[in-house]
Structure 1
């Protein structure tokens, strides 16, 4: 515990990450317990737990008060054991009067109206507050002392944390009648002032894809995205030539959520290569004339498109899309960084115009 001046912010050692939900009370035997059942009783609690049977949570820097109630006139001694094993003597001190409590009364530190505050400090972890009540004053000079006249709190000299405190107090109460002292223990948790509220998300795919989370584009796949607010969101994974994948993911605070997706290629239309004579000009004319199936003649514009698309497919290009226009057809193919657009337009006097445009992206 930090020893500050009367008007300073006094800090109580802090606590482990925990929840504020009620838990079964941990027995006072974890520190020191009277083997008999004296009619003297003491109850200790922190201000967030009026019953003393729970395990409330405090953030570092948050104010706290400790209270103890006795059923008989008694002297009350309060100690705090932090997660590192450091023991602080909370009561008696030089700030809030003596530690004598009347029967049925409650001693609170700090009391309402005191001109100082008591605040939670580090280290983070589970803290235990021990109240020891005695019908007679105890001599604690062997375990704690005020080092200087300016010290507001006594320094506890026991080593070994909780076990050391229990051993030292056992020696102190050993000469007393067994029915003249009793103890009680309260527990509380301390968490960081700014707890982690974000998590990370990794989207793995079998091809390069684009990831959209909750309607916002994150970027590419096979990347870990950090500092995402915890929660459950819709996610969409897209890649050209593959079916979109949609699902929901839950981003957990302080953790990495992984989603691995195998995107499925979009089924490409199958073009059957026409019979070829080996003569490009004759093959083109043959395609334009078409083949009569029943009474329907094949569209010459589509025949010209199929011929050119088939040539490109034989060169390793993959069809991305094909659509009809008001004057013919347009087909887009891709291979690596190159994209080819084939446009076929019908002209006047039964003419066709076939245009092939190639675009290649280079990285420098």
Structure 2
């Protein structure tokens, strides 16, 4: 229901003056039909007829245009009735004089700041009031100190703003001001849904690359990853890259464990063990895993057959690795000083 402002008797005595209308929908309206016009829009609605949704924390831009050179005053009234003066302000591009048939945007492109939606959920109203002459807003707002970038609004609520503005425009000619209103809804920000990824390796200095982007070192849990399937590459110094695909689950941690066993150098072809000399020893590798591949110092020596494989190795320390499908990679270092036997049974 529309309400009308009570005007002092002295003003009512003038037949040329019509009281501004205080409207629940448009806040304040000039009851005459001035040849001055103003439009105000939010960036999600170019028509001015909708009330688009903006999530808390989302950026918004507000534009206004006039058909004649005019001073444009912008106010926002949120769902709780709190009033914010948008223009004029003391930020770069915060002046409120707008040339005829041009569009002023707040914040202006390249201004170096953003206007972010906050406050309670609900309908917001952006009021643009254009005047051919500058208006005195002392009754409505003021800058408290030299550092303030935005003026503090004294008027409380939509009705308070409308009544204060009706007093502000009363001294100016009736056909020299006009208003327009745009609307937008503030909605709660959607919760961020992410998952985590842990990549463990047996090689210090391994690097994790997810979907082409380097996350960092392995043996670390990486958080804030959007749910979905991603290619993963794990790089370890001296070893061939390990690649696979992982699925990140919402509010969960995906574990990927990589046991590097095969060095990046191409394995030598299987060949008969060299002839034993005074510095070589015969070492029998016993294992219950038939077909398991055995590597000595990064070179493939053969596979377990009939419960074992015989190696001829020189005196000293040697790295022995055994890998088999379905079993965890076995890796250990042995100091060989005589002929002997080593039993290796990888675990699943």
TM-score (norm 1): 0.45
Mark the structure with the bigger radius of gyration.
1
Higher helix share: 1
